[in-house]
Structure 1
Amino acid sequence: MSNTLANLVGTAAAICSITSFAPQAIKIWKERDASAISLRTYSLTVTCFMLWVIYGVMTEAWPVTVANACALVMASLVLVMKWRFRDTS
């Protein structure tokens, strides 16, 4: 497989990972309601992205590191908003 093709696939995966959190983050921010978000699931997701970032740094796989760091930021924003806009009922 060519390096160019592998980089294209990796770039597409990174864009999908990063942007997959945007709709949820925007919806939560606008509505100030995170009741539909699972705290356990997002805690696990943030942990997974942290581990991928550590792995990327340890193996010097910078595309993996950068893509997962960006996804970590997006998932962390959702998690923070879950805590901030907790259900009051």
Structure 2
Amino acid sequence: MSEVVANAFGVGAALCSITSFAPQMIKIWKEQDATAVSLKTYSLTVTCFALWVVYGVMTGAWPVTFANTCALLMASGVLAMKWRFSRRARSGSAA
């Protein structure tokens, strides 16, 4: 397989990973509600992306590092909103 084709697949995979969190983030932000989000799942997802970033740095694989850093930021955003809106719901304060 040519390097161009392989890179095209890698870019496609990176874009899918990065943008896959956008709909969830938008929905949570608009509704100010993250009750449907699994804390355990997103905690594991954030850990996964963090490990991929470390792997990318250690191996010098900048595409892996870049893509997983972006995905890590998006997943971390969802996780942060989960914590934020869960605390707000528990305290009974409205947005």
Question: In which range does the TM-score fall when normalised by the shorter chain?
Answer: over 0.9
Deviation string, structure 1 residues 13-69 (Cα, Å, up to 9, x no partner)? 000000000000000011100000000000000000000000000000000000000
Residue pairs, 1:59-78, within 5 angstroms: 59-78=59-78
Match of 2:28 in 1: 28
How high is the TM-score relative to the length of structure 2? Answer: 0.91
How many residues in Structure 1 have an aligned counterpart in Structure 2? 89
Matches of 2:84 and 2:9 in 1, distance apart? 36
How high is the TM-score relative to the length of structure 1? Answer: 0.97
Percent identity of equivalent pairs: 72
Matches of 2:39 and 2:65 in 1, distance apart? 24
Question: Structure 2 unaligned runs (5+)?
Answer: none
Matches of 1:13 and 1:69 in 2, distance apart? 14
Match of 2:40 in 1: 40
Larger Rg: 2
Match of 2:54 in 1: 54
Runs of 4 or more above 6 Å deviation: none
- Aligned Cα RMSD in Å? 0.9
